[in-house]
Structure 1
């Protein structure tokens, strides 16, 4: 087991509260020293490093009820309850909690901020011990596999050998697939949602537009904006606006906004936000920059672009799951054009070829990619059914959750 200190543990909370508040509000932080370097795909051994996380519920006596949640690109460790930065419910608060599909009365739920993130885990905004300044672009480029390696170290640190389930959507779904491929003996069940085994050319292109928007901001300062006392808010806001369009469907956008004007009765014949959709996107952009680091955006989008699960298995995706005993529940949405059903079904076919136990649900909805974060009754039903079934096989008490 990797050596680490947990600065969120009861014995350490007093002396590290100030650091925790600055680096990961209301979170636990596991810190790994020089004796526990993390090997990265780029060839760098990262040390020291840390990972911030949240837990919900209680770990049972035999440590068989742990569920790991993997967050998407702009998420973090605050999956449930009220987010300490935004004051809004956590990103999966609809699914995680007492009596919900991921029932915290039954399961011990763990959610970690990914490596390269910006809410307590090591990333480009972290202090480089060699310089005493933020890493900026000197932070090594990370991959989805690196994120999963870091999470595995955290799970080791918590003394958990096997996870009952690993679940997540979008970039989180990529992490789920990587977990199932790299650590099949440690994953009893896997729930990858609205994802794919590799990023498409179109998705890479969208990410490049966002990165170029950030890097074109004069306040980006070639990635050294922290030292300069600046922040590329305009560029990051534009990147968020462009990305947010891809999370919605045309039908959902039309239903929500149409061509309705924003706080006016007529066109202004100028470049203010005449339309409600323009105002909405500007709001999304400006609120995003208040909670997210611009360099982390570059690093995490690059990690998604690099993801290609079949590449390390002779180009044959089924080989990534050879011999697996993990149970899978794959979920896609009909109106998701960012991660369409076709890509999810490719994973299902590979799992079938590998002889895996797999269920596949395509949910009819017009809410686009973001449907996995919303109140979708079919998603709730599918996850509850799969989790309860897997819990029975695992020998965990299903209780009255259904």
Structure 2
């Protein structure tokens, strides 16, 4: 992983983030017209070949023998880029001094960083979920830099349901006494209990109801009895144990401050804001876009990708991932992703020729 300094960054709301650094990783030989920009999801990072294993690499759908792949860690993140856990130029950590940011802020900071590295044009910008929101904004903000885009499992704006469920996640972190107004860094404690609750809520929206029920049903966790005479926190259903495990895994690798900042950015996602509304903004996007949704996604339901496909100004095509997994299928259904990505490149390549 490397980092690039972009100096002070002013958010679209007018806040200044001083001395910003953006982390990035690359794969494959760089040529004039073979750069693919990969955009990660909420708790992802710049190591795209790890979280999209089986999709990026030599001979794979995103072939690093053909393409030069670059992936940044988002502004506000905690994997090398400037975020709440980073050192503040005046001392201490940014913490509560780190301002709210939007998806557009993330893209503007990334654009500046990539320009500093000499990237001016991209054969494709590809992303899912929050990464899909960023890819969509790339098409609206910098169409001259983007030849094509593959956008997965996202909507044109955050829905009221998405904002509602995501606000409960933010609240669970901020109501943890260890949050300390966002200034828990270097105090010896962190709001990990609150983030665990947030992760459990989120994970239930990432997975499909059928998949979760098939795996766990109403079974008790091995050696535990959740049907005793009195409720006990250590006597769990199997699905509770699974969610506890997911919460613990995230706490070991992700910062609660970044989780709050990036979730808030998702709540602010709206491609139509200041552009005449959703449909006008989508119609004005001239970049050829291929849209993919998941049939069982409850976080970004398939009708939201259908809305994108009906209104985008230059639709390449639309694909559907059929899976019981739900939203996370855009990360896990490698075989279908392989086929859809190759189809995208065929369609985008035929336009170029």
Q: Could you state the TM-score of these two structures normalised by the residue count of structure 1? A: 0.84
Matched, 1:380 2:338: yes
Preserved CA contact (<8 Å) 2:225 2:235: no
Deviation at 1:273, TM superposition (A): 4.4
The secondary structure found in structure 2 opposite 1:67 is strand
How many Å separate the matches in 2 of 1:267 and 1:157? 56
How many Å separate the matches in 1 of 2:21 and 2:131? 19
Aligned length: 350
* Residue of structure 2 aligned with 1:50, choices 7, 13, 21: 21
* Residue of structure 2 aligned with 1:340, choices 301, 313, 319: 301
Distance 1:38 1:266, change over 3 A: closer
Which residue of structure 2 aligns with residue 234 of structure 1? 193
Deviation at 1:46, TM superposition (A): 2.7
The secondary structure found in structure 1 opposite 2:221 is coil
How many Å separate the matches in 2 of 1:376 and 1:262? 30
- Return 5+ residue gaps in structure 1 as ranges: 1-26, 81-89, 396-402
- Return 5+ residue gaps in structure 2 as ranges: none
Deviation at 1:123, TM superposition (A): 0.8
* Residue of structure 1 aligned with 2:311, choices 350, 365, 373: 350
Which residue of structure 1 aligns with residue 3 of structure 2? 29
How many Å separate the matches in 2 of 1:265 and 1:313? 55
How many Å separate the matches in 1 of 2:271 and 2:126? 17
Aligned CA RMSD, in angstroms, stands at 1.6
Q: Could you state the TM-score of these two structures normalised by the residue count of structure 2? A: 0.95
| Matches for 1:277-292 after TM superposition, within 5 Å | 277-292=239-254
Distance 1:247 1:161, change over 3 A: same
Matched, 1:66 2:56: no
How many Å separate the matches in 1 of 2:124 and 2:296? 26
Deviation at 1:393, TM superposition (A): 4.4
Preserved CA contact (<8 Å) 2:295 2:322: yes
Matched, 1:271 2:244: no
Distance 1:44 1:272, change over 3 A: same
Preserved CA contact (<8 Å) 2:152 2:291: yes
Preserved CA contact (<8 Å) 2:18 2:89: no
Matched, 1:331 2:292: yes
| Matches for 1:228-267 after TM superposition, within 5 Å | 228-264=187-223, 266-267=225-226
Preserved CA contact (<8 Å) 1:240 1:284: yes
Deviations 1:305-342 (A, max 9, x none): 01111112111433345261x22110001100110111
The secondary structure found in structure 1 opposite 2:239 is helix
| Matches for 1:172-191 after TM superposition, within 5 Å | 172-191=131-150
Distance 1:273 1:72, change over 3 A: farther
